[in-house]
Amino acid sequence: MLIPKVEFLDDIQATDAYQKQLKALYLTVSDNQYQTLTVLIDLNTYGTAVFDLLDCGIDLPFKRIKRIHHSFSDDLALIEMSLDSSKGQRLLEQLLALALYENTYDISGHPHPRSVCLWLFDQPITKTLKHSIYLIGQAYGMGTKKRRYLRYWDPRVMALLTHLWTDQQKLQVYKLGLSHICYVDWNNEMNVLTFPTLNEVYPSNTEVELEQLQPLPFRFSQQQWQLLGQAEWINMILRQLKERIVINTQSYKTVMNQALLIVQRQTTQQQAVKNIVESLEQPRNQGVGR
């Protein structure tokens, strides 16, 4: 993938959509009194050339994550910035522009990868954090101890996982020290995924329930694996829909349900697309008649 020109990011920063997201992002920082921001970068998109887009990028320190799977040509990397410095704020603004650029130009027929992945506030880069990020990318295959990789850091996959993860699986992430993760969603908005605490998942806090919470890697059900296997098709449909509708929980579940029917051989891809269009247009048609 060719790295975008700096002028492209300048154009993004001049848009109302960017200014709206930047304002909301700074409001989040202010309301929560965040001091630092750590951003997960996928070097498989542009390599380290991505840092050339950023001010002081040549001298920007970053930490590589242990390679999650041998099939990846490059690593994941973490960069950390102080939010009370002009340099840190400039990096935040440029990374937001790049994230919106990648999402904006991820359009039907021309899928665009993501280099800007997850945003972690007040999560300094430590060995524990690096290991946690590595662990979340692992899952056991069905009925086996063989590990499979999970490309969760891609915002498009993260969006799918928010609908797939059980509360217990979300708690596994929380116990790694990650209470919330932010990412730019299909609507070009910064979405915050908050992970539940132990008391929220197990109010009674019984020993039996606690023993059922196994450490990572994840153990997904057959249905979860089926939907993960359809991630490419799901993303293709959402890529076509995002210019026409707001991608919300209802529309996402509609697409997922049809993807599951395809796997179970209860419908064809062509019929599934028709069902999705009819389902999403129905509320609008009902609204017109009122």
> Under the phi-then-psi rule, with left for phi > 0, alpha for psi from -120 to 50, and beta for the rest, what region is 166?
beta
Poorest-confidence range of 109-118, 211-220, 225-234, 259-268? Answer: 211-220
Report pLDDT digits (tens) over 41-99. 999 999 999 999 998 777 889 999 999 888 899 999 999 999 999 999 999 999 999 99
What's the sign of the alpha-carbon dihedral 78, 82, 83, 86? negative
pLDDT average, residue stretch 249-254: 93
What is the structure's pLDDT at 153? Answer: 97
What is the structure's pLDDT at 214? Answer: 82
Report whether 6 contacts 53 (CB < 8 A).
yes
Instruction: Find, among 161, 148, 153, the residue nearest to 69 by Cα.
Output: 148
d(CA 160, CA 249): 10
What is the structure's pLDDT at 283? Answer: 54
What is the structure's pLDDT at 206? Answer: 67
Q: Order across the sheet with 138-140: list the strands.
A: 147-149, 138-140, 218-219
Instruction: Find, among 6, 10, 88, 17, the residue nearest to 50 by Cα.
Output: 6
What is the structure's pLDDT at 63? Answer: 96
What is the structure's pLDDT at 289? Answer: 39
